[in-house]
Amino acid sequence: MTNTVGQSRLASLVVALVVALAIVVVLFPFLWIFLASIKPASVVALPDVWTFSPTARNWNDVLLGSDVPKNILNSLIVSVVTVSVALFTGAPAAYSFSRYKTGAGFRFTILAAEMMPPAILILPLFLILYQLGLIDSLMGVILAHLTFVVPVITWFLIGFFDDVPRELEDQAMIDGYTRFQAFYKVILPAIRPGIAAAAVFGFVLSWNDMFYALILTGGESKTLPVAIAGFWTFRGIDMGKMAVAILIAVVPILIVSFFIQKHLVRGLGGGAVKF
């Protein structure tokens, strides 16, 4: 609030009203989808029904009588494994980029990798995975997700490493640590919030992907976003059930993302912008 100039009550009110309107625009779709998930089948397709006797039928059908729980598990496995691999490979590299200013070329490569359109990778990935017998496997989706999660997480961490004062590391080495020990015993713990934010952000990216998963998965390894798309079928949209699946995919992500909002900007800047 550095540049807030004194404003009149009227101005404050106008600001509050506009922000409130924006909040309504953001929240309304969630509200409508939630209502759709508890509406009886007879009124779900009617655009003007606000009062009805709620039913848990859609929730029951989806949670107990469909493949959605399996899709959730698939999505979870894919996201967690992808993020773990990305952290193990990305964190040391990001440290190296940050501390040694290792070749601008490398840094640029990471950025270029982050920008790579999926269209160019999906064709060869599909063919390679087919040759490896990994179509319709979680392994295949994980490999595909690594292509965008690894660069993002690495880029993300560079910014956080840049913020660690050099003295911290020098002190550790005076205390008898080797440089590598200093890295994982002193520096890594120092940027723990940054790592957590990077991990959550990578998780969100992987969890939300539909493009790769649509092409690479089948009945066995289908992830949640692909399953959601499948509710729009030949028989028509089963709106109620689709609403449930959407909420299941969205709500947990909203909750975890809430905790990383603060760190997101630092990470996305990746050392390219100083705020």
Among 63, 76, 121, 190, binds other proteins (CB under 8 A): 121
Kindly state whether residue 56 participates in binding other proteins, applying the rule CB under 8 A: no
Binding mask 57-96 for other proteins (x = CB under 8 A): --------------------x---x---x--xxx-xx-xx
Choose between 54 and 218: whose C-beta lies nearer to other proteins: 218
Among 128, 168, 173, 174, binds other proteins (CB under 8 A): 128
Identify whether the C-beta of residue 85 lies closer than 8 Å to the C-beta of residue 146.
Answer: yes
Among 113, 186, 190, 196, binds other proteins (CB under 8 A): 113
Tell how far CA 75 is from the center of its chain. Answer: 12
Among 8, 51, 100, 166, binds other proteins (CB under 8 A): 100
Kindly state whether residue 142 participates in binding other proteins, applying the rule CB under 8 A: yes
Among 7, 56, 108, 185, binds other proteins (CB under 8 A): 7
Among 130, 171, 173, 174, binds other proteins (CB under 8 A): 130
Kindly state whether residue 147 participates in binding other proteins, applying the rule CB under 8 A: yes
Among 62, 125, 187, 197, binds other proteins (CB under 8 A): 125
Among 18, 56, 173, 174, binds other proteins (CB under 8 A): 18
Choose between 63 and 214: whose C-beta lies nearer to other proteins: 214
What residues numbered 216-275 form the site for other proteins, per CB under 8 A? Answer: 218-221, 224-226, 228-237, 239, 242, 246, 249-250, 253-254, 257-258, 261, 264-265, 268-269, 272-275
CA–CA gap between residue 215 and residue 129 (Å, rounded): 11
Q: CA–CA distance from 129 to each of 134, 138, 181, 218 (Å)? A: 5, 11, 38, 13
